Amino acid sequence: MTWRVLVVEDDVDIGRLVSLQLAELDCHCKLVDDGVTALGEAQAGRYDLVVLDVMLPRMDGLEICRRLRTGERYTPILMLTAKSSEIDRVLGLELGADDYLTKPFSMPELAARVKNILRRARRAAAARQEAESPEAQRIERGDLVIDLVRHEVQLRGVPVELTAKEFELLTCFARQPGRVYTRAQLLEQVWGYTHSGYEHTVNSHINRLRNKIERDPANPEYVLTVWGVGYKFAERRG
């Protein structure tokens, strides 16, 4: 299978090196060197992955990431950044990036991150193909209904607007009520991100999810805290 990858990098030499490395992974790369052009290309093209630099002329990578995540089509994003501060990396993840690399990075590390993202994309595509029955396309837990095909959520018959990561997080919980997930496990399953130290990314997403689906976010009925361990979806739902 050949993957279509959009490489957004204003340093031409780095962009070419990234493209050459990804070509070895059966990726067909298009190189773009400014933010406005990149956003238009990503929104119009059918790409399997966007490799996105943060520091770009005309529009930065964080704004591109934010705008792509407000659209209906979900394209995995690997962010490249010369910034080393933790807040920049966490902001990228919370805006919806699937992973990030801090410059300078090695080509083998880039290849490993891309393989991981594409592996998850392949699994997701296979899961969508297998979802043929109505039961597989919907999850119903009490008053909460998750439509996996339409990517929609309703609570007591009222639509709930969720970001892509909030939807993935809720679906992960609702598929297995009662199962306890650690923050590290949720980072891996929802973000595909295995590095420690960013569990607060999970906390902030869960807080926002609770604000949207719970009657009283301080006393949740759906997404419960298991103190000292992590979180789980209430077993009594559904």
Q: Is residue 226 part of a domain?
A: yes
Instruction: Give the pLDDT confidence of 217-237 residue by residue, as tens digits.
Output: 999 999 999 998 999 999 864
Pair (70, 101) in one structural domain: yes
Range of the domain at 30: 3-129
Pair (145, 223) in one structural domain: yes
Pair (200, 222) in one structural domain: yes
Tell me, what's the pLDDT at 238?
42
Q: Is the pLDDT of residue 135 over 60?
A: no
Pair (125, 163) in one structural domain: no
Instruction: Give the pLDDT confidence of 171-181 residue by residue, as tens digits.
Output: 999 989 999 99
Q: How far is CA 9 from the centre of its chain?
A: 21
- Please tell me the total count of domains within the chain: 2
Compute φ and ψ for 147, nearest 5 degrees: -95, 110
Task: For 69-200, list the strands marked E by DSSP.
Answer: 77-81, 99-102, 138-141, 144-147, 152-155, 158-160, 181-182
Listed residues 86, 105, 129: the one ending a domain: 129
Pair (97, 153) in one structural domain: no
Pair (142, 229) in one structural domain: yes
Q: Give the number of C-alpha atoms closer than 13 A to the C-alpha of residue 147, restricted to the C-beta side.
A: 11
Q: What percent of the chain has pLDDT over 70?
A: 88
Q: Write the DSSP symbol of residue 156.
A: T
Pair (118, 138) in one structural domain: no
Helix (H, G, I), strand (E, B) or coil at 18: helix
Q: Is the pLDDT of residue 197 over 80?
A: no
Pair (92, 139) in one structural domain: no
Q: Is residue 238 part of a domain?
A: no
